[in-house]
Amino acid sequence: MSDTPGKPQNTAAFYGQAVASFAVAMAATAIGIYQLSADAWVRGFLAIAVLYLVTSSFTLAKVIRDRQEGAAPASPYTPFEKH
């Protein structure tokens, strides 16, 4: 039987950073769309903002998944453990 603890959970700071990053990305995209004019620098800004939003979304999804997995009750035994 193993005495190793369960899967380590992310820190509150990492979770907060992921949420803040997601919010900043959403705000940047909204501001870019609001300021939309057909200039090239605006289109460039929107392209970068969308890329930032996508990568932040992946991070937020990972953090939420890890937090949920950490809260799930662990199985009392492994499939290969003798009873």
pTM over 0.85: no
Q: In the chain, helix, strand, coil percent, each to 5?
A: 65, 0, 35
Count CA atoms within 13 Å of residue 16 on its CB side: 3
Q: What are 35-71's pLDDT values in tens digits?
A: 787 688 888 888 888 888 889 888 999 999 898 888 8
